Amino acid sequence: DQKTMLDFDLAELYEVETRALKQAVKRNISRFPSDFMFQLNKEEWQELITICDNLPKNAKFSPAPPFAFTEQGVAMLSSILNSEKAIKVNIEIIRIFARIRQILMDNNKLLLDIEKIKNKLEHQDKKLTNHDKNIELVFKYLDELLAKKGTQEYRKSIGYKIGK
């Protein structure tokens, strides 16, 4: 269920002859495991010829079925071909991977920073909760003192009065 591209389409894309592309692949076959590339069998190739109207004429009459390349195979192919187009594609692939790696590193740093902020906020929240409890306790004591003051009897002052 993978999306693939056939060798003759890739040869056109990379501006090389199909024959040269196949030769390069055969010389570097160890770079193309089965999840990068496979060759259609004769039945699959015949079925494709009958279904597709827009295949190149020279491809229809090729004695060997074409190679089919997955996304990884297309990228690997750009590293073994020597056309200007293949070289440019390969350079762009490398740049994209470098950018992706940098984005992931930046993202990890950002996640760590967010985690630090989250921990600080949780710590502050605990402190605030303790402060809230302390303030409630102070108000409770003040209420108790006010209640005691209201229940105290009026007492006569002890001592001397001056000036009368």
Give 110-139 pLDDT, tens digit per residue.
888 888 888 888 888 777 777 778 888 888
Residue 80 has pLDDT above 80, yes or no: yes
Residues 10, 16, 21, 24, CA torsion sign? negative
As a whole number of angstroms, the distance between CA 113 and CA 125 comes to 18
Q: Tell me the pLDDT tens digit for each residue of 134-146.
A: 888 888 878 887 7
Residue 150 has pLDDT above 70, yes or no: no
Q: Hey, where are the domains in the chain?
A: 5-82, 87-148
